[in-house]
C-alpha cells in the first residue's frame, strides 16, 4: 500500500485533474491498488513495494538536446521527460508525428479502431498511473502504402533531477494498410538519480502492413523502466519486435500481441543481459484470436553478477484461432553463481487444430567446451566471452540493419567482457 504521505500527494493531484475526468479516475484506481508487490502473481519476482513509500517529482520539467547523428534514419523523433517533444530532423510526406487530438481530427476513421480495441489483458496499476499522469499521446502516423526505406529513430531519454522523479510517456503508432516501416527506439537516461520511467505504447498495424519495432534499452543505474507495449495486428500484417535490455536497475517489459485477423505473422525477439544489481523481467502475451496466424518467440538471456531475470511467456490460442502455429523458446545462461533466472511459459489452447511448442532452458556454460577452448590456447576469460557472444548472436543476427547489429554487438561484448573480467 502507498504510504500516507504519497497517498495525500496523489490525492491532491487527482483533485486537480478532476475526480470525474479519465485522468482523475485512473489515478483513483492507482491509489486503490498502489505499486505491484511480490504478492501480485504477475509481479512475483519484480516487487515495486519500495516505490509505495517514495514521493517523487510527478511532473518533472526539462528538455534534452540530444546530439543526433544517424544518417541511416529517415526521421528522428526525440522525447524526454513527461512529454514526447517532437523534433523532426527531416520530414517525410508518408509520416506524421502529432498529438492525439490532432490525429483523431485528421484521421476520424481511427476513432472506430480506438473504440473497438481489445481490452488490455493483465492491466496493472502502472498502466493506470500512466493514463493519469501523462497528459497526451504522441502519435506516429504512417500513411497508407507508404514504404519507409530506412528507419525511424525514436530517442526516448529520461533525465534525472536531484529528487526522485517519475516520467510518464505515451506513444501511439498507427500503421495504415499496406505500409511498411521500422522504428528504432533508443531508450537512455542522463544523471544517476532515482527515476521511474513508465512508458506505454499502443501500436495498430493495419491490413497487410509490416512493422518492425526495435528497442535498445540502455539506461543508467538508478532507472526503473516499466515498458507496456500493446500491438494490435489486422489481417495479413507482420510485426517483428526486438527488445534488447542492456542496462538499468530494473526493467519490466510487458509486450502484448493481439492477433485480430487471419494470416498474421508475429515475431518476438528478446535479449537481456542484466549484471550486478540489475533486474530484467520480460512478460509477453501472444493472444491468437483469429485463424491461420503464426507467432515465433525467441528470448535469450545472459545473467551476470547477482542479476535477476524473469521470463513469463503467455500464449493464448482462442477457439476461433484454428490452424495457428505458435512457437516459444526462452534460453538462459547463468554466467555467475550468484545470478537467478525465473522462467514460466504459459500456454492456454482452446482450438484443436493448432501447432504449438515451447521450451525454456537455464544453464551454465559448458565446462567441457571451456576446457576444449583452453586446450587450444584461449584464456578462460576469452573462452567465456566467445561462448556467451555466440549465444547472444542468434538474436542479434536477426536484426536487419548492419549498423545497429554492430553497435548492439559492441555494447553487449563490452558488458560481458567486463563481467567476465570481474569474475576472474
Partner 1 sequence: MLSIKNLHASIGEKEILRGIDLEVKAGEVHAIMGPNGSGKSTLASVLAGREDYEVTEGTVQFLGKDLLDLAPEARAAEGIFLAFQYPVEIPGVSTTNFLKSAVNEIRKYRGEDPMDAVQFLKMFKEKMAYVNIDQSLLSRALNEGFSGGEKKRNEIFQMAVLDPKLAILDETDSGLDIDALRIVAEGVNKLKSPNNATIVVTHYQRLLDYIVPDYVHVLYKGRIVKSGTKELALELEERGYDWIKSEVD
Give min distance, CB of 423 to partner 1, in A. 16
Give min distance, CB of 385 to partner 1, in A. 9
**Residues, the chain:** 424
* 3-state SS, residue 103: helix
Count, residues near partner 1 per rule CB under 8 A: 21
115: exposed, middle or buried (C-beta count within 10 Å: 0-12, 13-18, 19+)? exposed
Report the C-alpha gap between 25 and 33 in whole angstroms: 13
Give min distance, CB of 367 to partner 1, in A. 9
351 forms part of the interface with partner 1 (CB under 8 A)? no
Give min distance, CB of 122 to partner 1, in A. 34
List of residues 6+ apart from 43 with CB closer than 8 A? 36, 37, 124
| Spacing of C-alpha 196 from chain mean position | 15
371 forms part of the interface with partner 1 (CB under 8 A)? yes
65 is written with which cell numbers?
A: 538536446
298 forms part of the interface with partner 1 (CB under 8 A)? no
Closest to partner 1 by CB, 350 or 372: 372
Restricted to residues 147-166, the positions that interact with partner 1 (CB under 8 A) are none
Among 65, 69, 337, 375, binds partner 1 (CB under 8 A): 375
239 contacts 233 by C-beta, under 8 angstroms: yes
Nearest-CA neighbor of 13 among 151, 117, 168?
168
Among 108, 377, 402, 424, binds partner 1 (CB under 8 A): 377
1 forms part of the interface with partner 1 (CB under 8 A)? no
Restricted to residues 381-400, the positions that interact with partner 1 (CB under 8 A) are 382, 386-387, 389-391, 393-394
Report the C-alpha gap between 325 and 309 in whole angstroms: 27
* 3-state SS, residue 29: helix
Among 118, 277, 366, 407, binds partner 1 (CB under 8 A): 366
Among 101, 374, 403, 422, binds partner 1 (CB under 8 A): 374
Report the C-alpha gap between 54 and 132 in whole angstroms: 18
Q: Which stretch binds partner 1 (CB under 8 A): 158-166, 191-199, 261-269, 362-370?
A: 362-370
Pairing of strands 250-259, 279-288: parallel
DSSP conformation class of 42: G
Give min distance, CB of 217 to partner 1, in A. 23
257 contacts 268 by C-beta, under 8 angstroms: yes
From residue 40 to residue 79, the character string flagging contacts with partner 1 as x (rule: CB under 8 A) and all else as - is: ----------------------------------------
* Interface residue list for partner 1 (CB under 8 A): 366, 368-369, 371-380, 382, 386-387, 389-391, 393-394
Amino acid at each position: 500500500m502507498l504510504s500516507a504521505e504519497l497517498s495525500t500527494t496523489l490525492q491532491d493531484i487527482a483533485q486537480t485533474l478532476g475526480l470525474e475526468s479519465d485522468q482523475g479516475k485512473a489515478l483513483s484506481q492507482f491509489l486503490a491498488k498502489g505499486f505491484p508487490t511480490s504478492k501480485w502473481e504477475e509481479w512475483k519476482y519484480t516487487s515495486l513495494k519500495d516505490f509505495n513509500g517514495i514521493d517523487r517529482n510527478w511532473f518533472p520539467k526539462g528538455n534534452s538536446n540530444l546530439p543526433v547523428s544517424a544518417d541511416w534514419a529517415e526521421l528522428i523523433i526525440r522525447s524526454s521527460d513527461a512529454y514526447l517533444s517532437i523534433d523532426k530532423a527531416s520530414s517525410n510526406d508518408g509520416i506524421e508525428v502529432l498529438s492525439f487530438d490532432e490525429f483523431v481530427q485528421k484521421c476520424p476513421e481511427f476513432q472506430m479502431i480506438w473504440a473497438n480495441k481489445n481490452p488490455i489483458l493483465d492491466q496493472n496499476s502502472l498502466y493506470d498511473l500512466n493514463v493519469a499522469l501523462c497528459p497526451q499521446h504522441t502519435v506516429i502516423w504512417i500513411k497508407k502504402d507508404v514504404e519507409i526505406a530506412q528507419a525511424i529513430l525514436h530517442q526516448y531519454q529520461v533525465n534525472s533531477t536531484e529528487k526522485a522523479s517519475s516520467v510518464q510517456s505515451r506513444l501511439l503508432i498507427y500503421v495504415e494498410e499496406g505500409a511498411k516501416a521500422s522504428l528504432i527506439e533508443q531508450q537512455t537516461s542522463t544523471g544517476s538519480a532515482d527515476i521511474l520511467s513508465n512508458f506505454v505504447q499502443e501500436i495498430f498495424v493495419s491490413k497487410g502492413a509490416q512493422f518492425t519495432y526495435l528497442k535498445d534499452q540502455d539506461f543508467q543505474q538508478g532507472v526503473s523502466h516499466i515498458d507496456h507495449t500493446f500491438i494490435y495486428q489486422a489481417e495479413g500484417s507482420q510485426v517483428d519486435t526486438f527488445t534488447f535490455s542492456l542496462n538499468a536497475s530494473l526493467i519490466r517489459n510487458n509486450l502484448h500481441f493481439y492477433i485480430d485477423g487471419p494470416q498474421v505473422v508475429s515475431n518476438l525477439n528478446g535479449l537481456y543481459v542484466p549484471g550486478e544489481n540489475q533486474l530484467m523481467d520480460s512478460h509477453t502475451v501472444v493472444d491468437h484470436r483469429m485463424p491461420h496466424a503464426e507467432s515465433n518467440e525467441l528470448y535469450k538471456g545472459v545473467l551476470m553478477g547477482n542479476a535477476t531475470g524473469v521470463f513469463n511467456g503467455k500464449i493464448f490460442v482462442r477457439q476461433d484461432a484454428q490452424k495457428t502455429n505458435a512457437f516459444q523458446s526462452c534460453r538462459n545462461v547463468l554466467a555467475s553463481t550468484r545470478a537467478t533466472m525465473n522462467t514460466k511459459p504459459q500456454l492456454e489452447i482452446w482450438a484443436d487444430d493448432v501447432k504449438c511448442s515451447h521450451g525454456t532452458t537455464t544453464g551454465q556454460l559448458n565446462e567441457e567446451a571451456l576446457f576444449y577452448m583452453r586446450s587450444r590456447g584461449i584464456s578462460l576469460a576469452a573462452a567465456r566471452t566467445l561462448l556467451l557472444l555466440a549465444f547472444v548472436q542468434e538474436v542479434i543476427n536477426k536484426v536487419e540493419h548492419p549498423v545497429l547489429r554492430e553497435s548492439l554487438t559492441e555494447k553487449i561484448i563490452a558488458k560481458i567482457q567486463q563481467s567476465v573480467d570481474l569474475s576472474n
